[in-house]
Structure 1
Amino acid sequence: MSAKNIGSESRVSVLVDCDNTSPEILEFALRVVAQFGRVVLRRGYGNHATLANKWQEALVRLAFTPCLQYQYAAGKNTSDIALALDAMEAMFDERADTFCLVTSDSDFAYLCRKLRERGATVFIVGEAKSPDALRNASDQFFEWVPPAKLVPSAEAISIAPSPKEVTKSESPKKEDPKPVGKQRPKFVVEAVALLTGDTVEGKIALSPLGSYLRRSYPSFSPQVYGHSGLLDMLRTYDLLALEQEANGHWSVKVTQKE
């Protein structure tokens, strides 16, 4: 799906097979699906042993609803059935028309096919171990790789304090506030690269880029990073190039400059 479709009002459901993947995949999945529409359902499925510790922290922090499924018999996984039933119910109730299944389990290939037969769009976010049967059953497969390179992107969003934190950290003394230095979080470049990856011209307008960034990071604001606006922010990146279109609007693309 191209970047020009970002502004559509697709209702996205993100359903996570917690028993067969890692909690570190969640943030990547949300960044991927933010380009396709508004996420209306966030659910994580697993047994009592899975939905604890790291999974509990990740689900709570990223506003997912945990769906606990007990094992009624040894060796029987009920989470898969619960996920599949909820996906079909959301489609028939018209609560969602786009589905992102976060899993590497080939058992969900049939669910993907049934959803697509009914007109839904299906994306899979999985690991390298995901079999071809699962990859080919979706409209698009996004492979999550857990290298150390993904860590700076997540950390970049937290280096600048939120407006509430700025207020709390102000000195009780009446001193002139120090100017905030302009910062360049890495995830902005990653967002431009992701959204322009399948476009012919390799660029994206600022309006859909801003919408994507706000969907990926609800607290995102150029002002938090010391910029007057998104255009001012993008001008500080060596890896990005801005172009003004004939209609006066601006677009941005990734360059090969270091």
Structure 2
Amino acid sequence: MANGKRDTKFEPDDSALRLAVLIDADNAQAAVIEGLLAEIARFGEATVKRIYGDFTSPGSAQWKKVLNRHAIKPVQQFAYTTGKNATDSTLIIDAMDLLYTRRFDGFCLVSSDSDFTGLALRIREEGLMVFGFGEKKTPDAFRNACHRFLFTEVLRPVAQKAAETTPAPAAKGAKSAKKPAKAVPKPAAAEEPTEQDFPRAFVLEALDKAGDDSGWAGLGAFGSYLNKLQPDFDSRLYGFRKLSDLVRARTDIFECEERAVPGADAKVLYVRARER
């Protein structure tokens, strides 16, 4: 007989954010879906997963192969007229309907289209989290309208990244007017960002603001401040899987120190700018 009490052993993730994942099929690639969903799982539970597009068009064939596997609900949207994107309108209307149900803690908007900037701002006004996912071509307006923005390039499978950087072999029997010089394979290091790519001044400014009077800041506080100032900051863009890996490796910029947590068998990483 039921006693009216909830069996909490089936609810280990009560504190997880309930997220609505809305994907613009016209401005996202199916190849990143596994990495995308894994990344979203770090923030919370994807209780709604919908994708919007015209799935009768050849361009959507890539998505048809993965929708059932990942339990993503397709929302068919025919193009009413040439040059107008009906998909965006349908996604925005659905997002507002979901917003007013008050059942969600945040939204994941997957697109590289700046048309969703207003939607992101409206969701933030309701006090909900907004996570954006798009390519590096995404305009700054949409990136900065999100609490966090992640580039989908870092979510691609390793095999796909390697294929994109490997030059295609010449067609057999193909002739050229001028025999080109022997191609030199691009070294693996060329894929790593250069010092010029690393936003050194921005990172040091954020560290200064997050630190205490002595300049030390906990890694968590430092990372949180970085994302508040620049929602699309991601250590993976600079060749490091985690922020902790980045600060430990860049000994030319940072000093690191692990401190024991009082009353617990754990340590917290602290970081400060290295004196020059």
Bucket of the pairwise TM-score, normalised by the shorter protein: 0.5 to 0.7
Q: How far 1:149 moved relative to its partner?
A: 6.0
Task: Please list the CA deviations of residues 196-251 of structure 1 after superposition, one character each: whole Å capped at 9, or x if unmatched.
Answer: xx996559xxxxxxxxxxxxxxxxxxxxxxxxxxxxxxxxxxxxxxx997766678
Other-structure match for 1:109: 117
Q: How far 1:51 moved relative to its partner?
A: 7.2
**1:10–1:97: 8 Å Cα contact kept in structure 2?**
yes
Q: How far 1:74 moved relative to its partner?
A: 2.0
Q: Residue 147 and residue 117 in structure 1: after superposition, are their counterparts in 2 closer, same or farther (change >3 A)?
A: closer
Give matches, 1:130-149, under 5 Å: 130-145=138-153
Q: How far 1:77 moved relative to its partner?
A: 1.6
Q: Residue 39 and residue 75 in structure 1: after superposition, are their counterparts in 2 closer, same or farther (change >3 A)?
A: same
| Pairing partner for 2:81 from 67, 70, 73 | 73
Q: TM-score, normalised by structure 2?
A: 0.52
**1:91–1:120: 8 Å Cα contact kept in structure 2?**
no
- The yes-or-no answer on 1:38 pairing with 2:45 is yes
- Aligned equivalents of 1:139, 1:147: Cα separation in 2: 19
- Higher RCO, 1 or 2 (CA under 8 Å, sep at least 6)? 1
Other-structure match for 2:3: none
Q: Residue 147 and residue 87 in structure 1: after superposition, are their counterparts in 2 closer, same or farther (change >3 A)?
A: closer
Question: Aligned Cα RMSD in Å?
Answer: 3.4
Which structure 2 segments of 5+ residues have no match?
1-12, 161-206, 211-216, 221-258, 270-276
Which structure 1 segments of 5+ residues have no match?
1-5, 153-197, 204-242, 254-258
Give matches, 1:69-218, under 5 Å: 69-145=77-153, 150-151=158-159
| Pairing partner for 1:15 from 22, 28, 31 | 22
- Aligned equivalents of 1:56, 1:11: Cα separation in 2: 26
Give matches, 1:240-251, under 5 Å: none
- Aligned equivalents of 2:111, 2:53: Cα separation in 1: 12
Other-structure match for 2:4: none
Q: How far 1:25 moved relative to its partner?
A: 2.3
Structure of greater Rg:
2
- Aligned equivalents of 2:72, 2:159: Cα separation in 1: 21
Paired letter, 2:42: Q
Q: How far 1:22 moved relative to its partner?
A: 0.8
Q: Residue 69 and residue 137 in structure 1: after superposition, are their counterparts in 2 closer, same or farther (change >3 A)?
A: same
Q: How far 1:91 moved relative to its partner?
A: 1.2
Q: Residue 251 and residue 89 in structure 1: after superposition, are their counterparts in 2 closer, same or farther (change >3 A)?
A: farther
Paired letter, 2:31: E
Q: How far 1:76 moved relative to its partner?
A: 2.1
Q: Residue 51 and residue 92 in structure 1: after superposition, are their counterparts in 2 closer, same or farther (change >3 A)?
A: farther
- Aligned equivalents of 2:64, 2:157: Cα separation in 1: 24
Q: How far 1:49 moved relative to its partner?
A: 1.1
Paired letter, 1:67: V
**2:24–2:52: 8 Å Cα contact kept in structure 1?**
yes
Percent of pairs identical after alignment?
35
Give matches, 1:230-245, under 5 Å: none
Q: How far 1:129 moved relative to its partner?
A: 0.6
**1:16–1:45: 8 Å Cα contact kept in structure 2?**
yes
